[in-house]
Structure formats: structure tokens, C-alpha cells
Amino acid sequence: NETLLRLEHTPKLVIAALNGHTVGGGLEIAMAADLRIARRGAGKVGLPEVSLGVLPGTGGTQRLTRLIGHSRAIQLMTEGTNTDFDQAERMGLVNRVMDADSTEDFLAQVMAYARQFVRPAKASLAVGNIKRACQSGGQLPLEQGLALERELQAQLFNSEDAKEGLNAYVEKRTAAFSGR
């Protein structure tokens, strides 16, 4: 659990590429990522631990509930069945399903998708603060979450990236973020 918590709390955006059956502990690891991208037809997801007389004990009960809701999470875990990636996307467990002819093609698509979240295309400080606001703020009462959001926004307004982003917008050009 400590390793998965560190993965969740890193300011970097973590993307899991699902290219095969992702069940049990594999799904528990994938759920600790910020985004889950799957290759259509390459496998299924599930938490079948109930069939072994145990529960998904590496954070699976908590992360699945937060991702897809209380009732659906209980259903998925107590049935112990696996579901295809398209259904998992409809549930909100998988963020995107991609068509790919091979593993190499799929991984190339995932890498191309991931590049949109890093500099110079995106401000890495803003990405990290968005992640923190969602993770930490989502566990707080609304008023405290809004206060956290304001605090993080104030930090960003003092960054070089915010100045660059606002100047680029006014000048009608693409921003080139530096991560500072």
C-alpha cells in the first residue's frame, strides 16, 4: 500500500497502459495511476479475490469505490467477474480504450497521448497542482477543498509558467512552458 500511495502522491501524472488481462493485484496497481488507457480486445479487468475467500487488499476496495462509486464497486467485487475494457470505460474504471494492431502500436499511441501532458505543451506545475487539488481536496469538506484550490492557484500565479501561459493567450500564440 505504501508504494501505491507514493505513486498516487507524486506530482507527475501517472498513466497505466493496459495491454492484457489486468485483474487482482494488477488492477489494484493500475487503479493507483491517474489515468488508465487500454488496448481494445487485449484483455479484461476485474477483482476476483472473492473467489479465493479474500478481498482486494492492496487498496482495491477503496480505490475502486472512489473511481466508479459505492454500489457498482460492491457489485464488481462481490460478483468477482472480469469485464472487457469497453465496459470498464463506460463504468469510469478505464479512461480511454484505443484500437491498435500490435503491442508496439498501442504503446506508441499511449506515449503520444502522454506527451500532451508534459512541457512544453502543458505546464507541469499546473498538472501537479491539479492532481493535488483533486486528490487532497476530494477528501475534504467542500469549503476546505475550495481553500486548497485557491492556495494552489495562488502558487501557480507566481510561476514562470503562468506568466508564459497568460502572455501566450494574449499574444494568440502557443505557450512554451518550462516547468518553473
Q: Select which of 2, 8, 28, 164 is catalytic.
A: 28
Domain ranges of the chain: 2-115, 124-170
Indicate the class that CATH gives domain 2-115: alpha beta
Q: Active site includes 28? A: yes
* pTM, full prediction: 0.88
Alpha carbon distances (Å) from 147 to 40, 134, 139 = 40, 12, 13
pLDDT for residue 137 is more than 90? no
Check residue 69 and give its pLDDT: 94
Cα→Cα distances 96→16, 110, 152, 176, Å = 11, 10, 28, 27
Of the candidates 49, 79, 89, 160, the residue annotated as catalytic is: 49
Q: Residue 22, SS3?
A: strand
pLDDT one-digit tens code per residue, 16-36 = 999 999 999 999 999 999 999
CA distance 148 to 164: 23
Q: What share of the chain in percent tops pLDDT 90?
A: 84
CATH number belonging to the domain at 124-170, selected among 1.10.3210, 2.20.70, 1.10.12, 3.40.50: 1.10.12
What pLDDT score was predicted for residue 122? 85
